[in-house]
Chain A
Amino acid sequence: MSDYKNIWVLIDIQNGQAKTLELLTGGRKLADAVSEKLVAVVIGSGTDAAVKDAVANGADQILVVDGADYADYSTEGYTYALEQLAGKYKPAALLIGATISGRDLAPRLAARLKTGLAADCTDLEIDAGTGTIQWTRPAYGGNELAVIETPGARPQLGTVRPSAFKRGEPDTARTAEIIKEDIALPAGTIRTSIIERIAEVAEGIKLEDAEVVVSGGRGVGSTENFALLKELADLMGGAVGASRAAVDAGWISHVAQVGQTGKTVSPKLYIACGISGAIQHLAGMSGSDVVIAINRDPDAPIFEVADYGIVGNIKDVLPALTEAIKKLKA
């Protein structure tokens, strides 16, 4: 086990852009604690920009696998590449973003490497003596937190919520060692193919990146009323989110859904409008710093997790709130 060294972070690339750079902040903490290197792994096709970002965000070393085989994410292609890299370099740990592709990849890779895996982690610590990581993760819909370890196998694997860490200030003057690895996929490795892509990109700030999220539920009532939320979100430089009930009703696209089957957000301010606070919804927003709830039912469970609540009809409260904040900002 002592052959295994360094903390790796997989950098997720979407449309040529590096995602999950936040994980480098978490990786840095672990690497420093055990005095090892922080290594960013960049897999894709046309990775120069992502490599630069990884250097600026704190990686000491970058492992780059660039090739046409990796232009699109595929479970089997990426698993193969990481299996080869892990075999050659023997990392102590690999952090993967708890994104849709990360949660597809990590379990497959863990089974390939016959190692442990902690899913959807919100916090990480490391034992400086043994190098064993304590991965903290929610279970039972967030009712409980569990601490997981992989004491007897290496590398240690975890998917980590990007929102668990804040991205540091990028330092473009930093340098790092860049190692290119040519990994050709054996014929027939990838048995899946992408047939169609359906883009539903919400305009404006991305939900996951927003510092303010104004979310609406069934209580919003209509597509038109969602404009009230949009107005407040725009005013505060935030994004609009939704509960599943609002998405199911067709008032807003599913990319806005927050919760167990949607996105996980942890903004500075989360404003829940006409949302009851079902546990599947809370699973996606309980990491928010401050929560405001607006609901006409004083007994709605959302009030139990809210720092501030207004009992009232969103049709009255929201426009007034937007107005009052506008005045304050003026």
Chain B
Amino acid sequence: MNILVCIKQVPDIEKIKVDSAKKVMIMDGVPNIVNQFDTYALETAVRIKDADPATKVFVVTMGPAQTKDAMKSCLSVGADRAYMVTDDVMNDSDTLATSYVLSAAAKAIEAREGVTFDLILCGKQAADGDTGHVGPQLAEYLNYPQITSASEITVDGGKVSARRPTDEGAEVVAAVLPAVVTMSQTAYEPRYASVKTKMAANRAEIPVLTAADLSLDAAGVGLAGSPSKVIKTFVPERKKGGLKIQEETGELSAQKLTALLSDAGVI
């Protein structure tokens, strides 16, 4: 079985600080990492390979040259082959344009490698935009069924079944392969790289595909191919941190809080 995992490199949002005077995010020194949910997707793929060594795991990312680091990191934790899609014409693509590019990339990689992907895994959402659009939109471009937000999957008999949350609890849904599944957090943690796997990943050849390699329709990529436009971004007004109460005992603190809440009309 062949699995393609879509990987996005994102800033580590835990390390973003906000300059509340200037009302901007401070991105200097914030490291880029593989989107957390994508690491769960990759680990899930590699576990399928562990159980069935005939499986091959491919990863792909669309992004600038520095996303090579993300690809190396994926190769060091079990991906067999990594592809980058890098081309300035793709700058400023929205999720629709990104999915279009990734669908073309999936086809191109299949042709180059002489494989067909049975399963395409994405993260549930990327930590920068938090949209969660690319998985379903990629599924639409490829005309595959989709399952979103899975926490556990099994592949059997030409189908993938996945456990996903619902507003009432959870459900297990099966989809006919080939399918796109987006992964939420799993019960297991992604594995770590070893010195040896890191060195091997450093030596690996990572092919770079351009728009020309994918025979894309230029009207469908970049700003021109993006119906969603970001008009502006701003740092929201943060509450300044309110009143902190620390009386001698918990009881006194609780009484003080209750009085304050009552005066303020909160309760």
Instruction: Enumerate chain A interface residues (CB-CB to B < 8 A).
Output: 14-15, 19, 75-76, 79, 99-101, 103-104, 106-108, 110-112, 114-120, 134, 138-153, 191-201, 208, 236, 254-255, 260-261, 268-269, 278-279, 283, 290-292, 298, 303-313, 315-318, 320-321, 323-325, 328
Contact = CB atoms under 8 A, between A and B. Distances in A.
B154 to A, nearest CB: 11
Contacts of A100: 148-149, 164-167
Given A192-B145, A328-B262, A269 B233 contact: no
Contact of A311 (B145, B176, B246): B246
A104 B135 CA distance: 9
A108 B246 contact: no
Given A104-B136, A320-B254, A193 B94 contact: no
Nearest to A208: B167
Given A191-B145, A193-B174, A291-B242, 10 more contacts: A107-B133, A108-B140, A140-B128, A144-B234, A150-B227, A195-B171, A308-B242, A309-B242, A311-B245, A312-B246
Is the contact region of chain B dominated by helix, strand, or loop, or is it mixed? Answer: mixed
Contacts of A307: 239, 242-243
12 contacts: A100-B167, A101-B166, A110-B133, A110-B137, A119-B132, A141-B130, A148-B228, A192-B147, A197-B171, A309-B242, A317-B253, A317-B254
Contacts, number: 256
Given A255-B169, A310-B253, A324-B254, A305 B229 contact: no
A35 to B, nearest CB: 24
Nearest to A190: B145
A313 B13 CA distance: 30
Nearest to A134: B231
Interface string B115-145: 0000000001001111111111101110011
B199 interface: no
Contacts of B161: 195
Contact of A201 (B94, B169, B261, B267): B169
Contacts of B171: 194-198
A325 B227 CA distance: 52
B238 A140 contact: no
Nearest to B166: A100
A116 B93 CA distance: 12
B258 interface: yes
Contact of B267 (A101, A119, A134, A325): A325
B99 interface: yes
B170 A200 contact: yes
Contacts of A104: 136, 146, 148-149
Given A117-B95, A148-B231, A111 B141 contact: yes
B230 interface: yes
